[in-house]
Structures are given as structure tokens and as C-alpha cells.
Amino acid sequence: MIFSSSLVLGATAVSLVAGLALPSPIQEASLLQRDIDPGQDSRSCSSIKDVCSPDTISDPSNALSHAACIALVVCESPKDFLAQFPPNQPRLSRDAFNAVSGGSDVITQQQFIDFYYGTIASINSTIATSNSSANLLTPEYPSSAETVIAWWQDAVAWTGFCSTSSIPYSNFADWIEYSTATGVCGAVQSCDAAKNAATPACVPQRPTDNGSCAEMVSQCILFAGNTTHIFDNEYCVLASFCYSQSTVDVLIKALVQDDYLYIGQPVLSINQPRLTQSVFNTLSGGNTVVTQQNVIDAYYGLLTNTLRSCGGPPGAVTPCPSGSSGPYPTDVSYVTDFWETVSAWTGFCSTRNIPYKNLADYLQYSSTVKAPTSC
């Protein structure tokens, strides 16, 4: 019922929006700040909950079957949207998508703007005919269409349609379903090149990661110093391995970004001192090769009884026990998968036993020299 009234009133809103000039380029209607913006734009977005919230829809376990919820997921972001509904929501259906696209294969930016304004315009009449006892907000339009464009561009960037700003069905459904998963990265973080460069790179991870790689990086940060010699530390070497779906250089840039005292340019892997023999020996147990089992033992071992900072500036902190362990990967295949990448790059697929020189080469050159990444 909510579904149909949105559609009817959406038609009214199209003419309303047609009168709005759409300035370009998109200005600083910052997506990053929208969650803490107490102003009109966030009130506009929140007011959609009058017709899309667990209290105001009949079937919260299938929220996206309500057209208004498509407006809400875009203005709130999938993460904030999904957090308020029961887990395991069904994937956005083509029918629901069609309610915005008018049956076409893509939703254009203008269609979404019209749809957003139409949704807001319909709320008053929808709640007038409902018996909702929920605490309802006053429906409000956003401060300008630019705000709606900025929200839409978040989905456009993730799905990789910056050139057209129109998103096909399956990509839009993917954005809702997967953009909140850990380690799943969008095509770009922003269609604005300058903003994109200023945002830390998203690091793709396998679902089995379970946050373990991020913890390994946190451990590395305690010892990374000015990030000019990271291959002399076991945590940083293991973090380099678990970044295998990204690159060692992306890790280095992340470490540099974390150290606010270091103002130099990142020393990329090719210019880092080579892997130290002592870290290699620790990993290999004094043998001439590092085996897959060595890496499994090291990865789980280093995540057991982790450390934290007991004071001191970045890079010169005093490490002390955190009193906890993990998170560990959900499956040991996480470790064997990233070790497969290292084995493939170094040409040791058959044994997965890697000698010093080749392992040191992986750390130093895999960011810049292309080679197979699977066996």
C-alpha cells in the first residue's frame, strides 16, 4: 500500500523537481559528514522512516520490497540502513528496482532525484491513512538536489558507473548487498578524483578474513616506526602477506597515514630495505625455506596474546599485552589462500616452500612486477 501511494505521488514530484536547476560540478555536500550533519538534509533522510522502518512497514524482514526504503538506503548508506532491520534481508528485487527505473534497465541520476523528492512528497498522505503508532517525523525536502546527487554518487562510485551516473539493476542490488561486507571494495571510493586520492585505499579481503588482517596491521603499526623499514618486523611481514589481494604498497601508504608525526612521502616497497634474515629465520624455524605450515603457525601465533600501546608517540610506543587474542580467520584456508598468491608470484606453486631470496623479492617487487597470483 505504501508502495503504490509512493508511485502515484512520485509522478507529482517529477514536475516539482523539473523546476530545480542542478548545478554542477557536485560540491562539498560531503558524504563523509552526512551522518553527523544535524541539518535539513539528514532530517529529510530520517523522515523517510515514517514510511520505511521496522515500526512503519508490515514486513521488516523484506524491507526493500517497499519503494520508500530504496530512497532511504541511498540517503543513509546500506550500512546504516541494514543495521535497523532484521539480518539476512532478501536481495533487492527487479520489481522494486523497476519502481524507481520506470521499468528500464538502469536507474539514472535524474530518475533517482525525482524518486527521492517523490518519496518525501508522498509521506504526509501515506501516514494520514495509516494507523501507525510510531513516533513520526515531519517530512522534509533536502536543502537542494545536490545533496541527493551526492548520496546517489556514493552508489555510482562503488558500482563503477562514474561516466554515466546510471546504475544497472544487478550492480545496484550488489551495492546494497555487498558494499558493507568487510574487505569488499567498490570500483572507486569517489567519482571525484581529488576526494578519491585523499581517501585511504579500500583493501579487498576474502570473507574468511574475519578482521584478522586488520588486527595484524594494528600489531605492525606498533613497530612500524616511520615506515621506512617494515620488512624487519614479523607482524609487518605477515601483514604484507595478508594484503595479497591488494599490494604491499597499499599497506605502506596505510601505515604512513596512521602515523601523524611522519610527514615524509611513503617509502614504497621497492625502496625498502630487504627482508631481514632474522625475520626469515623466525618464520622458517631456521630452515632454508618458509613452508605453508610455517606461515599458518606464524599467523595464528602472532594473533595470540596480541599487544597494544602503553604510551609513546606513533612508531615509538611501548608495547604491552592487550590481554586478548584474535580475531582469527574463520577458516585456515584464509592463510593458505594468501600463501597461494605468494607461492604463485614467486613460482613455487608445486611445493609452496619459499626460499629467502624469493620471499624477499615478493615483499619488494610484487607491488610493481606483475606475475601470476594463483596456482
Ligand X SMILES: *[C@@H]1O[C@H](CO)[C@@H](O)[C@H](O)[C@H]1NC(C)=O
Pick between residue 138 and residue 350 the one whose CB is nearest to ligand X. 138
The C-alpha atoms of residue 315 and residue 312 are separated, in whole angstroms, by 8
Give me the residues paired with residue 244 across strands.
Answer: none
**Pick 101 or 272: Cβ nearer ligand X:** 272
Q: Which residue from 225, 251, 284, 298 is in contact with ligand X, where contact means CB under 6 A?
A: 225
Q: Does 118 bind ligand X (CB under 6 A)?
A: no
Is the CB of 41 or the CB of 154 nearer to ligand X? 41
How many whole angstroms separate alpha carbon 272 and alpha carbon 274?
A: 6
Total residues binding ligand X (CB under 6 A): 18
Q: Which of 138, 163, 265, 350 binds ligand X (CB under 6 A)?
A: 138
Among 228, 309, 358, 373, binds ligand X (CB under 6 A): 228
Closer to ligand X by CB, 168 or 327: give it: 327
Closest contact distance (angstroms) between CB of 33 and ligand X is 24
3-state secondary structure 294-337: HHHHHHHHHCCCCEEECCCCCCCCCEEECCCCCCCCCCCHHHHH
Q: Write out the DSSP string of 212-234.
A: HHHHHHHHHHHH-TTSS-GGG-H
Residue choice 88, 131, 133, 350 for contact with ligand X (CB under 6 A): 131
Contact 351, 226 (CB under 8 A): no
Grid cell digits, residue 203: 583493501
State yes or no: residue 326 binds ligand X (CB under 6 A).
yes
69/136 with CB nearer ligand X:
136
| Distance between CA atoms of residues 158 and 270, nearest Å | 30
Q: Are strands 167-168 and 106-107 parallel, antiparallel or unpaired?
A: antiparallel
Give the Cα separation of 146 and 190 in Å (integer): 15
78 versus 329: smaller Cβ distance to ligand X: 329
Q: Which residue is nearest to ligand X (CB)?
A: 327
Torsion of CA 221, 223, 226, 230, to 10 degrees: -90
The least distance separating ligand X from the CB of residue 328, rounded to whole angstroms, comes to 4
Mark the segment that binds ligand X (CB under 6 A) among 92-100, 117-125, 147-155, 333-341. 117-125
Site residues (vs ligand X, CB under 6 A): 120-121, 124, 129-131, 138-139, 210-211, 225-226, 228, 264, 326-328, 330
